[in-house]
Amino acid sequence: MRLLMMADTHVPKRARDLPARLWAAVDEADVVIHAGDWVHEPLLDVLEARGPRLIGVYGNNDGPELRARLPEIAQVDLAGLRVAVVHETGPAAGRERRCAERFSGYDLLVFGHSHIPWDSEAPGGLRLLNPGSPTDRRRQPHATYLTAEITGGRLDDVVLHNLPR
């Protein structure tokens, strides 16, 4: 199963649309995860219509229309991998411990908010991934998104993709 992860798209405030390379990755994915801060409801409509399975949550910058359509936390089983998605996890210091307590029983937590890519493992084996932002790199050298493969209940081939400026 091919997985695509993004967050903090902030369309149309930070960009009019997602980068073409990210749209191509959407078309190649079996599952797309968006970890919040969509900002503009039409992006949700387009991603839902595009075809692959979409798992999304709302973020702190998402208004009532998006909050009415998306959960704060998504929980799903993907080919035997237990996945949770949330926008905010709090400060970087102590993140693994907090998330291991809050999301015990999961294999993968995908989150956003910081616009900073993150890949770590919490006590007990919970993998934490933040794909950064494909449209607002903030203090990062590149705008980013993540891809991965799920095989036999395992997360493999996690790749952070840098987008051109």
Strands 143-151 and 2-6: antiparallel
Alpha helices in the chain (DSSP H): 20-28, 41-50, 64-69, 95-102
The model's pLDDT over 87-143, given as tens digits with 9 standing for 90+, comes to 999 999 999 999 999 999 999 999 999 999 999 999 899 999 999 999 999 889 999
Rounded to a whole number of angstroms, the CA Rg of the chain reads: 14
- pLDDT above 90: residue 14: no
Q: In 105-153, which ranges are E strands?
A: 108-110, 118-121, 127-130, 143-151
Q: What is the pLDDT, as a whole number, of residue 110?
A: 98
Least confident of 1-5, 12-16, 21-25, 134-138: 12-16
The model's pLDDT over 29-59, given as tens digits with 9 standing for 90+, comes to 999 999 999 999 999 999 999 978 999 999 9
- Token reading at 157: 């081939």
> Which among 86, 78, 159 has a CA at the least distance from the CA of 117?
159
Which strands form 2-6's sheet, in the order they lie side by side?
A: 53-56, 31-34, 2-6, 143-151, 154-163
Largest Cα separation within the chain, whole Å, is 40
In CATH, the architecture of 2-163 is 4-Layer Sandwich (3.60)
- pLDDT above 90: residue 13: no
